[in-house]
Amino acid sequence: MAESKVRKPAAEPVVKAAAKPGKPESRLAMVRRARKINRVLAETYPYAHPELDFESPFELLVATVLSAQTTDLRVNQTTPALFAKYPTPEDMAMAVPEEMEEIIRPTGFFRAKTKSLIGLSVALRDRFGGEVPGRLADLVTLPGVGRKTANVVLGNAFGVPGITVDTHFGRLVRRWKWTEQEDPEKVEAEIATIFPKSEWTMLSHRVVFHGRRVCHARRPACGACPVAPLCPSYGEGETDPEKARKLLKYEMGGQPGQRLKPPSDYPGSPAPALGAG
Ligand code: SF4
């Protein structure tokens, strides 16, 4: 099942395509290498998808606001109760703050998030006819909605290509030397020059999938990484294949995903509901 769909990690990664020490890689070589990495990720995670559960642009917008400073899993475990009580912007605009705070408490920063959610629902009701707008310029006028949130919503609920720079994406693209920028907006602008627009949304999902499963912040599993031959940071983590394989955290190892309701082609198991495990 899961294993047959997952590309096997390279047993003995050879770092031959990455820049040689002391010899700077040309822009052209970096772009070619970046596109190869994207192809390997596409083969490795053909089922990459946004890891927030949603059934409408409004649900995705709310879930993305809630995802600040917490895991997608925790958000997915919290939103079923939230959307049961407040299914539309009109309902959420009328929420009693203390009641909403109790529901979203598990996601952290629940007072500020409640304020944003009620504020953005009021704005949707009063300024956008109760609909989530499909334009970046409109989305970023909503309380609590920055460029990153707007791009997530545009890319996944409206099919508008967008690059989403979260903590995983920023870490990995710097490890791959696609950019040296730290500021998410600058990272987004530089990565946009490397890939065609049509790749932007899926590239974002694939990179985040790889960051969650293999290229962890603290101990990347270099010895079991399918992009190791293309990675200038190979060796930053565990290179022993056996030890590295133990660090993998994904479908392949039987771990559940982040979503309670994953897409139908997802080969792993759904995440447990809140309190179920
Ligand atoms: S796990 Fe290691 S080899 Fe793979 S992308 Fe991350 S740093 Fe590079």
228 pocket-lining for ligand 1 (C-beta < 6 Å): yes
Among 206, 222, 247, residue to substitute to test ligand 1 (most atoms within 8 Å of Cβ): 222
> Does residue 106 sit within a domain?
yes
Residue 234 corresponds to which tokens in the numbers above? 């190979």
Residue of 215, 275, 224 whose CA lies nearest to 246: 224
Residue 15 has pLDDT above 50, yes or no: no
pLDDT at 222 over 70: yes
Q: Does the beta carbon of 175 sit less than 6 angstroms from any atom of ligand 1?
A: yes
If one compares 270 and 220, the residue with the highest pLDDT of the two is 220
Instruction: Report the number of distinct structural domains present in the chain.
Output: 2
Nearest to 228 by CA among 163, 175, 155: 175
User: Do residues 205 and 170 share a domain?
Assistant: yes
Instruction: Give the Å distance between the CA of 219 and the centre of ligand 1.
Output: 10
Per-residue pLDDT of 189-220, as tens digits, reads: 999 999 999 999 999 999 999 999 999 999 99
Banded pLDDT at 18 (limits 50, 70, 90): low
94-148: per-residue pLDDT in tens?
999 999 999 999 999 999 999 999 999 999 999 999 999 999 999 999 998 998 8
Same domain, 71 and 148: yes
Q: What is the mean pLDDT of residues 227-235?
A: 98
**To the nearest whole percent, how much of the chain has pLDDT over 70?**
91
* Torsion, CA 99, CA 100, CA 104, CA 105, rounded to 10: -40
Model pLDDT, residue 17:
44
Query: pLDDT digits over 157-180, tens only?
Result: 999 999 999 999 999 999 999 999
CB 210 within 8 A of CB 41: yes
pLDDT value of position 199: 97
Amino acid 255: pLDDT: 80
Q: What is the mean pLDDT of the chain?
A: 90
Instruction: Give CA–CA dist 12/203, Å, rounded.
Output: 25
Residue 266 within any structural domain of the chain = no
In a domain, 269, yes or no: no
- The model's pTM is 0.86
What pLDDT, on the 0 to 100 scale, is given for residue 20?
55
Structural domain contains residue 208? yes
- Please tell me whether residues 146 and 170 are part of one structural domain: no
- Portion of the chain with pLDDT greater than 90, in percent: 78
The domain that holds 197 is classified in CATH as: 1.10.1670.10
259 belongs to a structural domain? no
Active site residues: 148, 166
| Domain enclosing residue 67, as ranges | 57-157
pLDDT tens column, 240-262:
999 999 999 877 667 888 899 99
Q: What is the DSSP letter of 74?
A: H
Identify the pLDDT of residue 148.
Answer: 87
Asked whether residue 151 falls in the same domain as residue 183, the answer is no
Of all protein residues, the one whose alpha carbon is nearest to atom 2 of ligand 1 is: 222
Report if residue 190 sits inside a domain: yes
Beta-strand ranges (E) seen in the chain are: none
Q: CB of 124 closer than 6 A to ligand 1? A: no
